[in-house]
Chain A
Amino acid sequence: MIKKCYLPIIWLFLLVALVVVSISSLALGPAGITIKQTVAIITGGPTYHGSTLFSSAQHRIIWNLRLPRILTSLVAGMVLAVAGMVYQALFRNPMADPYVLGISSGAAFGVAFAAFIGFIGGATGVWQVPLAAFLGAAGTALCIFFLSGGIRRSPATLLLTGIALNFLLSALMTLFMYLNRAQLQSIMQWTLGSFSTSNWSKLLIISITATFSIIPIGLLTRELDILLLDEASALSIGVSVRTVRLILLALSTLATSITVAFCGIIGFVGLMVPHIMRLITGPRHAKLLPFSLVGGALMMVTADTLARTVLGASELPVGIITAIAGAPLFIVLLINHKREVR
C-alpha cells in the first residue's frame, strides 16, 4: 500500500498515461496517419470541411473507426474492472471476476442462443443483442445462487459453481458453432472478444449502461468494504447484506452483459485491474473504485491497441491478449490462496 498523500498524484499519472496511450492508439494502424494529423483531425471536429493536412478518408478512419473503437474499449475496460472489483467483494474472493464466474459466458451464451433461434441477426434493432446478453448473464447469476444453495453459502461454493457454469456455457456455445457453421465467425467473435465492430451507437448504449451502473456502485463503497467481513459482522454493523448484495450483483451483471453483447468475452481484466490497484490503494473501495476505472480503461486500450497492431494488417482478438496477461496472475493468486488456507 502506498502513502495516502501520493494517491492523487498516482491517479493523475494513470489518467495522463491513459490520454497519451489513447491518442497514440488513434494514430497507430496500417493507414499511416501521424500523431500530428490525428490531433488535427480530432480538433477539427467530426465533420470534414477539407484540409491540407489530412484527407477525407483519414478523417473517416479516425472519427468513424478508431475513435469509437478506442472509446468503447476505454468504457469496456472501466466496466469490467469495476465489475471485477464488485464481484471480488461480493464473493469475498480475490479470484472472482465476470469471466471466472461465468457471467461473461452467460451473456455471450444469451447472444449466441438468440442468434441460433433467429431472435437477432439481419436488420434487427440494436437493442436485441444487449437484451439477449443481459438475460443470459442474469440467468447465469441466478443459476450461481440457485445451484450453490442461495446467497448464504460460502464464497468458495459460489465461485466453484460459477466455474462449473462457465464450462457448461462454453460447451453449449461450441455446440452452437458445430451445429450452425454459418454463424461460426460471429459466435467466435463473442467467445474471444473484439472491438472491431464498434460504432457510435453501440458506444452510446455501453456508456449509458456503464454510467447508470457505476454511479450507484460508487454510492455503495462503504457497504462494499463491510461486505468483506463475515456475514454476521456485516449484519451487526448495520448493512442489509442480502439486499445490498442483490443490488450490487444486478448492477455489475447489467454493465458486464451489455459490454459482452457488443465486445464479446474479454477475460481477466476484472481480475487483474482491481488486484493490481489494491496494491496501490489498499482495500478501501472509495479509493479502489477511481483507480480501477482508470486502470481498467488503460489496460483495455493498451490491450486493444496491441491486438490490432501486433500482427500488422490483420488483427488478434483482444481476449487473447488479456488472457495471456491474466491467466498467469490467476494461477499465482490460486497458489497464494491455497497457501493461506493451509
Chain B
Amino acid sequence: MQSVVGSIRNLNWSYRDKPLFTNVSTDFPSGAFISIIGPNGSGKTTLLRHFLRILPSPKGTIILPDGDLQDYQQIDLAKHISYVPQQSRLEYDFTVYECIAMGRYAHGGRFSTLTNDDHLLITKAMEAMELTQLEKRLATELSGGEYQRMLIARALAQQSSVILLDEPVSHLDVHNQREILSLLRCLVEQKITTVVCVLHDLNAVSAFSDLVIMMDSGKIVAEGSVEEVLTKERIEEVYKVSVELHYTSPSKPPLVMPKWR
C-alpha cells in the first residue's frame, strides 16, 4: 500500500452558517504531484488553508503521519507541511537569500543563528529553483516568475514532506508557468517532496499531475488519474462550458480545448 502524507476524513466546515465543505474525504499519497481543480469558489484554497490551521477548526479530521493535525505544535507542523501562497508580495527589502533562510525557522533553536547545514540547504534550494544568480537581489525587485520560484525555494529549505501551493502560476506567462511546473515535477520525480497544487489550467494539470482531485461546491466530485478525472462530460458538468478533448498520442494525456465561441 502506498504511504500517505495526509488524509482528510469527513471534513465539514461552514462559514457564517453557510456550509462550504460537506463530507470531504481524501488521501494525499506520498511522492506524487497532486492537482486540486474546480471552478472558482469550489473550496480549493479553503481546503489548503485548513492544513495551516488558519481557519476555525472544522468538523472531521485531518490526519498527518504523526497524528491529528489539531494536536501538532505549529513549529512541528512546519517540518511536515510548507505552503506557497497565492500572489503574495513582500513590501520590505529582504534579499532573496534572507527570504529563503526564513524557511529554516522551524529547524533552529531560540538563540541559534543559521548553521553551515542551514546555509548548505538554502544554497541547494536556490540551485533547485535556479535562483543562485539572484541571491543578493531584493525580493521586491523580482519579476513574478522569479518571486514565485523564491517562495518555492523557501518551502524547499523548510525540508517539509509536502508542499502546498495555491495557484502558483495563475498570474504568470506561459513560459514561467511551464518553467515552475517543470521544476515542481522534478522535485516529485527526484523524491524530494510531495506536491499538492491548486491549479486552474486543465492542460497544465493534464501534463504534470499524477493524481487529480476535482472539487465543486465544497465537495470532491472526482479523484484519480488525469484520464479518469478529466473526461469531457465531467468537465462540462462542473465548469459549465463545452470542451473537446484532443489526444495527440495514446500514451499522452489529453489536451482540453474549451469552445470559446
A-side residues, CB < 8 A to B, are 1, 92, 219, 222, 225-226, 228-233, 235-240, 278, 282-284, 340
B residues in contact (CB < 8 Å) with A: 49, 52-54, 74-75, 77-79, 81-83, 85, 88, 90-95, 98, 102-103, 105-106, 108, 110-111, 151, 154-155, 158, 164
> Is there an interface contact between B93 and A283, defined as CB atoms closer than 8 Å?
yes
A236 contacts B94, C-beta separation under 8 Å: no
Q: Is the CB of A232 within 8 A of B94?
A: no
Closest residue of chain A to B106 (Cβ to Cβ) is A238
Beyond A225-B94, A231-B54, 5 extra complex contacts between A and B, CB < 8 Å: A230-B85, A232-B54, A235-B52, A238-B74, A238-B75
A residues less than 8 Å from B93 (CB atoms): 1, 278, 282-283
A236 to B49, alpha carbons, bound, how many Å?
Answer: 10
The chain B residue with its CB closest to the CB of A93 is B91
Instruction: Please measure, in the bound complex, the distance between the C-alpha atom of A232 and the C-alpha atom of B81, giving whole angstroms.
Output: 12
CB neighbours of A240 from chain B (8 A): 74-75
Q: Is the CB of A229 within 8 A of B90?
A: yes
- 8 smallest CB-CB distances across A and B, nearest first, come from A238-B78, A236-B83, A238-B106, A283-B92, A238-B75, A240-B74, A230-B88, A235-B52
**A231 surroundings in chain B (CB, below 8 A):** 54
| 7 pairs, CB–CB < 8 Å, chain A vs chain B | A225-B98, A226-B105, A228-B92, A232-B52, A232-B54, A236-B52, A239-B74
Q: How many angstroms from the CA of A196 to the CA of B155 in the assembled complex?
A: 53
Cβ A233 vs Cβ B88 within 8 A: yes
Chain A: minimal CB distance from B22 (Å): 24
A residues in contact with B49, CB < 8 Å = 232
- Chain B residues whose CB sits within 8 angstroms of the CB of A236 once the complex forms: 52, 78, 81-83, 155, 158, 164
> In whole angstroms, what is the CA distance A71 to B164 when docked?
52
Choose from B92, B105, B108, B164 the contact partner of A239 (Cβ within 8 Å).
B105
Collect the chain B residues with CB atoms within 8 Å of residue A226's CB.
102, 105
Question: Which residue of the partner chain A has the closest CB to B76?
Answer: A238
Contact B94 A233 (CB under 8 A): no
A284 and B94 contacting across the interface, CB-CB below 8 Å: yes
Q: With A1-B93, A282-B93 known to touch, is A238 a contact of B83 (CB < 8 Å)?
A: no
